[in-house]
Every structure is written in C-alpha cells, then in structure tokens.
Amino acid sequence: MNRLPVAERREQLIEAALAVASRDGIDAATVRAIAAEAGVSLGVVHYCFQDKDELLRAMAHAITSQNLARSLGDLPEHADLDTVVDGVVDALWTGISESRGPQLLSYELTTSSLRHAELNQVAIEQYRGQWSAAEQVLELIERTAQIGWAIPRSQVARAIVAVIDGYSLAWLVDADGEQARAGLQGFGQFLKTLAVPAALEPDEGDHASVGAPDGATA
Amino acid sequence: MNRLPVAERREQLIEAALAVASRDGIDAATVRAIAAEAGVSLGVVHYCFQDKDELLRAMAHAITSQNLARSLGDLPEHADLDTVVDGVVDALWTGISESRGPQLLSYELTTSSLRHAELNQVAIEQYRGQWSAAEQVLELIERTAQIGWAIPRSQVARAIVAVIDGYSLAWLVDADGEQARAGLQGFGQFLKTLAVPAALEPDEGDHASVGAPDGATA
DNA sequence: AGTCGACCTGGTCGGTTGTCCAAGTCAAGT
DNA sequence: ACTTGACTTGGACAACCGACCAGGTCGACT
C-alpha cells in the first residue's frame, strides 16, 4: 500500500469511518472494520489516532462541518417569501431523503455522545452547528424577502431544527417520505405566518411568549 | 435467592433491563449487568429468554405500553381550548423532563432498531404507539373543547410527535429546559390556530395544504 | 551510498460479550 | 419419604473488541 503523510492518512480514515458507520451503524464502526474499509492494516489507526474515541470525534466533527457547508450551499436567489421558503424546505428535504445512512448515523452519534463521557462535546457541537446554520438560513430569508420575525430569530432556528429532527426520525422509522415532506411543508407555511415586514422589526425590546403574535407578556 | 415462576421472573428481568438501560445506556445493558441488577445469576436470563434480543424486544414493548398508558392517564377535565391545550402541553413536558434516562433510551432503541434486523419491529411499534396516543389526546381535546381540526387528525398527531421528539432531543443535548418548554408551548399556540368549531368540520372533503388556516385549497 | 526517521505490518494481549451446559436445589404431588 | 420437574447456579467457551508493540519498509536528505 502506498505511503501517505499522517495528516492525509487521517482524513482517509475519517472518510472510511464515515462510510462504515453510515452503512452499518456506529456499533459496526470498529477499529478493524474501519482499517479494512480504508485498506490499511490494523496498526495504522492507532498510529494516526491516539484513541478510537479520537477518531470518532474527528468523524463527528467532519459530519458537522460538511453539514454546515452543505446547508449554506443551496442559494435560492432573491424572491418573495413564498418562493424562498418553499425552495428552502424543498432543498432541505431533498438533501435529507437522499442520505438515509448519514442521517441515521447523526442520531446514533447524538445518543452515543450523551452516554459516553469521552464523546460529550460531540452532541453539543453538532447542535450548535445546526442551530447556527438554521439562523443563517433565516438571515438569508430575511434579506431576500425583506422581512423579520415575530419572535427572536434564535427561537425560530431552534424550532426549525426540532421540526426537522422530528420528521426525519419519523421518516427513518416508517419510510413514508410523503408524510415527512408534507409535514415539513406545513411547517414552512407556519413559518410564513411568523414573518413581519422588515421595517417594523429592528427595535422591539421584549419577545416573551413563543408563537403568540398577540404578546402575552403581562 | 427465592424462586419465581418463569413469567414473573421474566417481568422482573424486563424491569431490571429497563433500569440498567435507562441509567447507563443501551450498550451497558449486557446480559451480565441485567442479571446483576435483578440479583439473579447469569444463566437465569437465558432460561427466561431465548435471546438477548428477545429480552430487549420485551423491554421495548414494556416501554411502549407504559408510555401509552401514562400519556392517557393525565385527564384534564372539560374546559375551553386554551386551558386544555396548555394543560396537555404542561403535563407532557413535566413527564418528559422528569425522565431523562428513559427518554434518551427510547431514542437509543429507535436507532438500534433501525440498524439491527432482529429489532426491526421495535421502532415502528414504538412510533405507531406514539402516533395513536397523540390521536387519542387530540380526540380528548376535540370532545372537551368542542372543536375539530383544519387538517386530518392523523397529520396533526404526526406533527405533535415530531415536535416533541425534536425539542426533547434538543433538551437532552443542551439541558435547557426553558427553551424546550417555550418551544412546546409555542407549538401549543400553533395547535390552537388549527382548531375549528365542531359544527362545520365533519363533511369537508379535501384538505389540500397543511398548516394554512386560510384555506389555500382553491 | 548511506543514514535516519516517518510510516506501515500483523501478531498478541487482557478484557468483555452472548451463549451454552452439567450439576445443584427446592417445592409439590404421590 | 421419595420422586419428578421446574427453577437456579456459576463456570466454560468461542468470538470479538481496543490497545499495544517489536520489527519491517521506504522515501528523503546528507
């Protein structure tokens, strides 16, 4: 087998780990299986990574990064609110429905991270990335459709991630893509009701209750 | 150790498995750990269950059953729509936030089920139970508040389960109970906008667009 | 050409897992 | 009292895991 500097070998192993874990599940991503997938011998893994956990952390980091890069890559040019929201929802669902394995893997990683102390940072980093990506998508919508939101943008972002997670999970279980797509599109409709014209949004001090345009602060 | 008929011993082992898996994760629920938790010796497990998988399936079934029983146990007497929806959301979130371990376990079970053929039935049964429970809660709301829904009840039920899953997952990750509660309450608000007076709901043929109270059918 | 260090090999080790089994124990029925 | 069968015990086994290591290999620099 050809020789590689350790940095490149490391990336190759991360890709191999990603392939195995996406295909066969996180439990099947043993050091041996990853080495075999990469076509290297067993010892190489521990030559490039101190731990198996370090490899898994690197793999999770790679997923988060490329998720973030991908979700910001689809650029639905400037249009009105309906068009841009529908476009985002559509692109999003297409991206999900075409990658069942990685999608399932990300949930496996989340639960694993919440159980094993060595992976504690993985889940929070994963979700910080998703929330931040959702916020950036929202900013894009704000600019292209010239609107703001009736509730803080960060809360809208959390709602987006939550709804996507929920419908993705359901789709992974029952494989009913139409139900999932319909649900997400329904959420898109709801999103539009949260939009307010851009002019009267910047200086509004308190947003107390969620989803209640008629402020229930008092 | 005292002797038990196999049926009772089986239930005891299921409870022990539930305890171990909720506390330490599904991977920690080894045959030995379960036997130790139950205070029985190793061989008993395979005397009561043919497989470890059979035990896990039984455990998952127990979770589903008691989840269904619990979610229908909180009976928010007859009141107006606001009161009953807020009450349901509140009771729901209280139930979730008080059982972090089991909640996380249910997601571990879902992903495991989707990977291992021997557990294939677990996830779908889990979600069928949740969807059905959500539908029954919706029926309760319909009766107590004298309303119907702008979209088919089954789709509302799926939305409920999806939103709960999404916010629960986020809460498991970042431990921010207030954000989760706020998000669920916001969904409760949205739910109210889907309610229509009971009189004009039974004979409406087509429900085309989801989440659009201002009917976008035409 | 020769040396040095980065990179690779594959066997080995201790530990854990699910599964099995021969033997032991106890209550109930005769 | 004794037999029968349900229930229990704890050790044994093969398979697999992550980690480790002594030694081999090859490219690059002197």
Domain limits, chain A = 1-49, 51-200
Q: Cβ contacts (< 8 Å) between A185 and chain B: which residues?
A: 210-211
- Tens of pLDDT, residue by residue over A110-140, are 999 999 999 999 999 999 999 999 999 999 9
Contact A14, A6 (CB under 8 A): no
Q: Name the residue among A13, A59, A53, A51 with its Cα closest to residue A34.
A: A13
Q: Is the pLDDT score of A209 beyond 60?
A: no
Q: How far is CA B9 from the centre of its chain?
A: 26
> Integer distance in angstroms from CA B43 to C1' D12?
13
Q: Is the Cβ of B119 closer than 8 Å to some Cβ of chain A?
A: no
Q: Name the residue among B132, B159, B5 with its Cα closest to residue B65.
A: B132
Q: Is the pLDDT score of B208 beyond 70?
A: no
Architecture of domain B62-198: Orthogonal Bundle (1.10)
Report helix, strand or coil for B203: coil
Question: Cβ within 7 Å of strand D: which of A 48-67?
Answer: 50-53
Long-range contacts of range B77-83, CB-CB < 8 Å, 24 or more positions apart? B77/B144, B78/B143, B78/B144, B79/B144, B79/B145, B80/B145, B81/B141, B81/B145, B81/B147, B81/B192, B81/B195, B82/B192
Percent of residues, chain B, with pLDDT higher than 90: 79
Architecture of domain A51-200: Orthogonal Bundle (1.10)
The pLDDT of B70-77, averaged and rounded, is: 69
Q: Is the pLDDT score of A201 beyond 70?
A: no
Question: Is strand D within 7 Å of residue B198 (CB)?
Answer: no
Helix residue spans in B72-176 (DSSP H): 81-97, 100-115, 120-145, 153-174
Q: Of residues A113 and A206, which shows the higher confidence score? A: A113
What spatial distance separates the first Cα and last Cα of chain B, rounded to whole Å?
71
> Integer distance in angstroms from CA A3 to C1' C4?
17
Report helix, strand or coil for A214: coil
Query: Which of B126, B155, B165 minimises the CB distance to A165?
Result: B165
Q: Is the pLDDT score of A211 beyond 60?
A: no
pLDDT value, residue B76:
64
Nucleotides of D strand lying within 7 Å of any protein CB atom: 6-12, 16-22, 26-27
Q: Name the residue among B56, B66, B28 with its Cα closest to residue B122.
A: B56
B205 — pLDDT class (breaks 50, 70, 90): very low
Cα–Cα distance, B46 to A67 (Å, whole number): 44
Contact A97, A177 (CB under 8 A): yes
Question: Cβ within 7 Å of strand D: which of A 75-104?
Answer: none
Secondary-structure percent of chain B, ordered helix, strand, coil, rounded to 5: 75, 5, 25
CATH fold for the domain made of B1-49: Arc Repressor Mutant, subunit A (1.10.10)
Fold agreement (B1-49, B62-198): no
Q: Is the pLDDT score of B49 beyond 90?
A: yes
Q: Of residues A22 and B75, which shows the higher confidence score? A: A22
Q: Judging by DSSP bridges, how do beta strands B195-197 and A195-197 pair with one another?
A: unpaired
> Integer distance in angstroms from CA A10 to C1' D27?
19
Look up residue A48 and give its amino acid.
Answer: C
